[in-house]
Amino acid sequence: MPRLLRLVPNIIHAREVDPTQLGWISGKRATTRSNFPANFQYVDLRGMTLADLDRALAEEAEAYAALEKAEYSQAAVNEIDHRQATNSTVPMVDFGVGAAVVALSALGCVPVTSCRGPTLGTQTHSQPAPMVVFYARRIKLPALMRAIEAADCQIVNNGAKLEIYADDVRKMHAFALAIRAQLGEASAKDGS
């Protein structure tokens, strides 16, 4: 494995969620930063669409192909990070978790913080592993759990929210793909 693409060792494997702990956020509270003191860069990303998700998935797939071609060199990581910050669907989100954030929003969840952790390049990140924290309604749990399983990610309660995380940042992309597949199935069943 390339030196600048790292797996997180000793990740805690967890896929049990207590739905009674889930809270919800909406309206004015979801649009303001002051409600999320743990994330001073919070941006309201509710309401992302399937088109947004398709765009985010394509951006990440193209970036991963470029990184592999460059053998995950620091110069390539820097270029991808720059592209993410200046010309992507969600420029405020770290490369590697962007499509997962958009997938959660398209599913009807409310992402509140994310980080790719120390898994790519030499830049310091605040979390120990790739992760996304979000609000979700109970009705979304079956779709979330199917995607978690398909992508080999982990999920836990985080207060009134949920947190998904993985030992490999590429699994977050796989999670987004699994959500996209389910949303495509739902659209086909709805006739939309």
Q: What is the pLDDT along the chain (192 residues), one digit of tens a residue?
A: 456 787 888 889 999 999 999 999 877 777 765 555 555 566 778 889 999 999 999 999 999 999 999 999 999 999 999 999 999 999 899 999 999 999 999 999 999 999 999 888 877 777 879 999 999 999 999 999 999 999 999 999 999 999 999 999 999 999 999 999 999 866 555 554
Please state the domain extents for the chain. Answer: 19-190
Average model confidence (pLDDT) for the chain? 88
φ, ψ for residue 186, nearest 5 deg = -65, -40
- 161-165 β-sheet, strand order: 110-115, 131-135, 161-165, 154-158
φ, ψ for residue 30, nearest 5 deg = -75, -15
- If we measure between CA atoms, which residue out of 49, 147, 29, 37 comes closest to residue 90? 49
Residue 106: what pLDDT? 97
pLDDT tens column, 107-145: 999 999 999 998 888 777 778 799 999 999 999 999 999
- What is the maximal distance between C-alpha atoms in the chain? 47
> For helices 141-151 and 170-190, what crossing angle results, to 10°?
140
